Amino acid sequence: MKISEIRPFVPSKDYSTSVSFYKSLGFSGESAGLELTVLERDGCTFFLQNHDNDNLAKSLMMQLIVTDIKGMFELVSSLDDVKHSEITQEHWGAVFYLWGPSGELWHVTELKT
* DSSP calls for 17-80: HHHHHHHHTT-EEEESSTTEEEEEETTEEEEEES---HHHHHH-EEEEE-S-HHHHHHHHHTST
Task: Determine the average pLDDT of the residues in 3-9.
Answer: 93
Domain ranges of the chain: 9-111
What pLDDT score does 67 carry?
97
CA distances from 81 to 17, 100, 112 (A): 12, 10, 30
**pLDDT tens track for 40-96:** 999 999 999 999 999 999 999 999 999 999 999 999 999 999 999 999 999 999 999
CATH number of 9-111: 3.10.180.10
Strands 44-49 and 36-41: antiparallel
Residue type, 78: S
pTM given for the model: 0.92
What pLDDT score does 113 carry?
84
Task: Determine the average pLDDT of the residues in 2-19.
Answer: 95
Task: Determine the average pLDDT of the residues in 98-109.
Answer: 98
What pLDDT score does 41 carry?
97
